[in-house]
Amino acid sequence: MTPVQASACCRPIDDLLDPELFKALSDPTRSRLLGCLVKCGCACTVSDVGECCAVDLSVVSRHLSLLERAGVVQSRKTGRTVHYVVDYAHLCRTMRAIADAIEQCCPAEQLPGCARGCCGAR
């Protein structure tokens, strides 16, 4: 199977390798903000999360809303404060689904002990 033929063949990995999700995680500041939220575990206000980083609060606001658009966190507005929480379940599910989808494409000879033979015939 040539790369061209392979790319024409639809697999779960096609939808899972979503550049938007990875783009959301690709900035150091966002990474820090997310790590902060992940470890905190509770719903945090924009101002609170902002204290983890030495950037303007407007930057924090933009980063958090971008993370929300990417499905990484969720927001809830109460009064004039906005709380952000990590969507743990979605994130974990996505990461594991990516791993599964990649593994599904892995030729058998690279999976010691695996007899699936998904594409090991080559």
In DSSP terms, 73 is beta-bridged to 86
Residues 6+ apart with CB under 8 A from 100: 12
Per partner kind, with CB cut-offs from 5 to 8 A, the member of a copy of itself, DNA, none near residue 116 is none
Distance (Å, rounded) from C-alpha 122 to C-alpha 5? Answer: 14
Q: Which does 63 bind (CB under 5 to 8 A by kind): a copy of itself, DNA, none?
A: DNA
Q: Could you say which DSSP state residue 61 is in?
A: H
Site map for a copy of itself, 15-44, x if CB under 8 A? Answer: --xxx--xx-xxxx-xxx-xxxxxxxxx-x
How distant, in Å, are the alpha carbons of 17, 69, 98, 103, 107 from that of 12? 9, 22, 8, 11, 16
Binding mask 51-90 for DNA (x = CB under 7 A): ---xxxxxx-xxxxxx--------x--xxxxxx-------
Residue 109 is encoded by which pair of tokens? 């000879």
Chain residues binding a copy of itself by CB under 8 A are 1-4, 6-7, 9, 11, 13-14, 17-19, 22-23, 25-28, 30-32, 34-42, 44, 48-49, 51-52, 86, 88-89, 91-93, 95-96, 98-99, 102-103, 105-107, 110-111, 118-119, 122
